[in-house]
Amino acid sequence: MITAIYPGSFDPITNGHIDIATRAAKIFGKVYVGVFKTPANKRLLFTTEERIELARKSLAHLRNVEVVSFVGLTVQFAREVNADVMVRGLRMGADFEREFEMAMMNKKLFPDLEMVCFMASQEYQFLSSSLLKEVAALEGNISYLVPPHVADAIRQKTGKKC
């Protein structure tokens, strides 16, 4: 059985994230969605516990996916869960450059960990959690970008009609 990790801040989880996790779950025997507790250079809307709960509810239909939190290097998280593969999503060229840099560093730190990148589905090519939060802050409609429970959580957290 091949074990994969899909790490990220997931602040909040979006339909794009769910799409990548769903596709990874079809290929790998076990997928750990790793919610990074303390991402650098990010202003978080949700606490770690809230992000985990939103992700668990969003991915509950996937029996071989487990949502957990982690701290520190992603490769250390991979070692802790005995992962063979790291899953990443690619939306555009800029994503490729950043993911390529991270893949090369991770290869130096953990040579046996392979990276598998999924191209974002066409309807999610533009979607990021940061952009989603901007739209929500300006009371734009986000209902088609996240599951209903995530949209509700964003409304409650921000007090905005998004």
Tell me the pLDDT tens digit for each residue of 94-141. Answer: 788 888 999 999 999 999 999 999 999 999 999 999 999 999 999 999
What interhelical angle do 48-59 and 148-158 show, nearest 10? 160
CATH superfamily name and code, 3-122: HUPs (3.40.50.620)
Q: Which two tokens stand for residue 62?
A: 């996937």
Q: Which residue has the tokens 């991915």?
A: 59
DSSP per residue, 32-47 = EEEEESS-TT---SS-
Residue 151 has pLDDT above 80, yes or no: yes
Q: Which residue has the tokens 């560093």?
A: 105
pTM exceeds 0.85: yes
CB 2 within 8 A of CB 81: no
Q: Which residue has the higher pLDDT, 72 or 40?
A: 72
d(CA 22, CA 59): 8
Q: Which residues pair with 70 in a beta bridge?
A: 36
Q: What is the mean pLDDT of residues 47-56?
A: 97
d(CA 48, CA 52): 6
Q: Would you name the residues annotated as active-site residues?
A: 17, 42, 91, 129
Q: Which residue has the tokens 């009609």?
A: 161
- Ranges of each domain in the chain: 3-122
